[in-house]
Amino acid sequence: MHSTDYFFTTKPSEIQAVFVSDLHLSARTPRLCRAFIQLIDDLCVLPNLGSVYILGDWLDAWIGDDVYLSLDETAKAKHWLTPVLMSLKKLADKRVQLFVMHGNRDFTLSNRLTKVFGGAIISEPYYLTTPQARIRLEHGDALCTDDTKYQQYRAIIRHPVVLWLLLRLPLSIRSKLGQDIKNKSSQDKASKSYTIMDVNDDTVRHAMRDCTRLIHGHTHRPAVHQMNDKTRIVLSDWRDDGKHITAEIGLLIGDEIMLASFSA
């Protein structure tokens, strides 16, 4: 697998779209925030870049846009999210379209926040079309149908009525709920089997019945899976080993989607 630096230096004019997922940015991850800003700065110099897609879990345990939008200008200036939003706005000002998809950690995001940097929320599945390919984008958690308990929870917590009620709770209660959800997710990863936490093959085949490429994240198992004449590309989470931030992201070059290793 080539690095992003390789593609950015050898094929800068051929990169049309970039796909990332599972950054899990928060006040507790300043190094991840800086690494993401570094990537966005790198993307600003790509002459023909048309779009960037964040396929879920951009933010970690996000409990509502009012957490940020209700702040006064002084508080916003000091907030950890402001440099991230401003870097994205710089990219949007270059006429790059910015799209954000909900994940299981940031499903309360709305266009109220994305319009700060000129982006937009997209629902899943979302489709792209190139001359030779039809590409399906999603976060990936809906593909993990072997985990029936999670799918039941997902159907409840993502229901519009539940979400409406959730966003009207006091911030203090939402903050605790957000932390509880994050803790439960971590516990599930530790206690559930490796297989049950991955996608279900039949569900994937059904999802790909009307596309030639599928790009998703969520599982944190980056790979390119060939399925006859169809391809499934799995993006990674962003990892911090204390020295470097690493991730595997997707690049659309022509009609091909490449996984590239990013390091900061």
Instruction: Confirm whether residue 57 is marked as ligand binding.
Output: yes
Residue type present at position 158: R
pLDDT at 255: 85
Flag whether 139 is marked binding.
yes
Of 20, 24, 32, 18, the residue nearest 83 (C-alpha): 32
Contacts 24+ apart (CB under 8 A), 93-97: 93/118, 94/44, 96/43, 96/49, 96/50, 96/51, 96/52, 97/50, 97/51, 97/52
Query: Any binding-site annotation on 220?
Result: yes
Quickly count: other Cβ atoms within 10 Å of residue 187's Cβ: 10
Tell whether residue 261 is among the known ligand binding residues.
no
Q: Say which CATH superfamily domain 2-263 falls into.
A: Metallo-dependent phosphatases (3.60.21.10)
Q: Is 189 one of the annotated binding-site residues?
A: yes
Give pLDDT, residue 2: 94
146 is in an annotated binding site: no
Dihedral angle sign, alpha carbons of residues 184, 234, 51, 77 = positive
State both tokens at 114: 């994305």
Q: Show the CA angle centred on residue 2, arms to residues 226 and 54, nearest 5°.
A: 70
Sheet holding 230-234, edge to edge: 126-130, 133-137, 213-216, 230-234, 223-227
The residues, any chain, with a CB within 8 Å of residue 256's CB and separated by 6 or more, are none
Question: What is the C-alpha separation between 237 and 220, in angstroms, rounded?
Answer: 5
**What pLDDT, on the 0 to 100 scale, is given for residue 196?**
81
* Number of Cα atoms under 13 Å in the Cβ half of residue 130: 15
Q: What is the pLDDT of residue 70?
A: 95
Give CA–CA dist 130/250, Å, rounded.
15
22 annotated to bind ligand: yes
Tokens of 54: 């964040």
Q: Residue 146 corresponds to which amino acid? A: D
Q: What is the mean pLDDT of each run of 10 residues along the chain (264 residues)?
A: 95 98 97 98 97 98 94 97 98 98 95 98 96 95 95 94 94 86 72 80 96 96 94 98 96 94 97
- For the chain, the distance separating the N- and C-terminal CA atoms, rounded to the nearest angstrom, is 17
Q: Are 180 and 20 in contact (CB under 8 A)?
A: no
Q: Report pTM.
A: 0.94
65 is in an annotated binding site: no
